[in-house]
Amino acid sequence: MKNVEIKTQIVVYDSVEELPYSVQELMNKAIETKRNAYAPYSKFKVGAALLLDNGKVITGNNQENAAYPSGMCAERVAIWKASSEYPNSKVIQLAISASSSTQITKEPVAPCGACRQTLSEYEIKQDNKIEVFFMGEVGKVIKTNSLLDLLPIAFDKSFL
């Protein structure tokens, strides 16, 4: 037996204003699309914006359904939309913003496990890291250099 230590590194910005201007614009797209999320049950809205290597920005927001498993997270809405519309483009950056109508979301909200798995598939497929920026409604923004920093031991097609 041996112990293996896995480390990940993040960058924490105190606010959106500290981000590079291009990332501020991407995060603002995530914030803007979050407003159109359909979240009548959880009251928790999420917006995602992807920057592609062709310069296009693809957005998505969470979509709930009374039959809870039928809903979809913002990140997966955005990545599947990007893959459908621009199948040969690579995702360069992902910005995520989340908020609740029942309280102010001050802590950064990372992608859920299902979104991490889905996004990792695209990062591995494109053989190019995806920078991920995520925040709550206000306050700090966390940046990872790769989606795999959030899911270091990923399940992928090599296991199939």
The catalytic site residues sit at 75
Give bridge partners of residue 61 from the DSSP assignment: 47
The strand pair at 91-100 and 57-61 is best described as: unpaired
- Taking alpha carbons only, the member of 128, 127, 131 closest to residue 147 is 131
89-to-55, 62, 104 alpha-carbon distances in Å: 10, 23, 36
Distance CA 151, CA 142 (A): 15
